[in-house]
Amino acid sequence: MIPTIEFVKIRRSMLAIAFAFSSLQVALSQDSVIDFESAIVGKPIPTWSENGVTFELAHQPSKSKAIGRMTFFPHLGTDRKGIVNAMANEAIPLRATFNKPIKKIELTLWGSTTSSAIVEAFDTDGQRIAKTELGQVPVRSRPEEHIPFFELVVEGDGIASIEVSGSQPGGFIAVDAIRWSQ
């Protein structure tokens, strides 16, 4: 049976609608990612904003009159960078504030051997709505290995900000990448 012209037109229209719908689904489900690759390593800064997220310290230092700053730190042996607290004598959590509420946030991190890792999620009123933690960050099994990356996920309705902490003074937790979908 040879399809009629009308049938071919209807079939093309249906395919176009199906394609448009699948494109819309992909666009709505795409994750946003920040990986700090455009940042300058070693330059202390008070805030960093990218892709609708502002990073800063959760509070100003209490042990000095210095202005709280963060810096970008290289992951040795790779080209990757992470954002860390630049206050070496005071472990202040790093805060990321989102311009729109989020439900799920995935972080790729690495840290110094003395560190644990804690991610807390807060709503717009500053109330903690979720927390995840790792008692001790993964460490190298041999000196020639790279410091291992690890992932933590925090979920909850209406996440407006997160705080990353867990290092001791002199140690660090570096946020290598942050991924979320709205």
* pLDDT computed for residue 23 by the predictor: 39
Of 159 and 182, more confident: 159
* pLDDT computed for residue 21 by the predictor: 41
Question: And the tokens for 147?
Answer: 């410091």
**Residue carrying the six token digits 């996440």:** 159
Tens digits of residue pLDDT in 2-36: 555 554 455 454 434 444 443 334 344 578 999 99
Taking the mean position of all CA atoms in its chain, how far away is CA 181? 11
Q: What pTM does this model have?
A: 0.80
pLDDT bracket for residue 164 (50, 70, 90): very high
Q: How far is CA 61 from each of CA 72, 107, 162, 170, rounded to the nearest angstrom? A: 19, 25, 19, 14
* 174 and 110 Cβ atoms separated by less than 8 Å: yes
Residues in contact with 13: Cβ distance below 8 Å, sequence separation at least 6, in sequence order: none
Position 50 pLDDT exceeds 70: yes
- Strands 173-181, 94-111: pairing is antiparallel
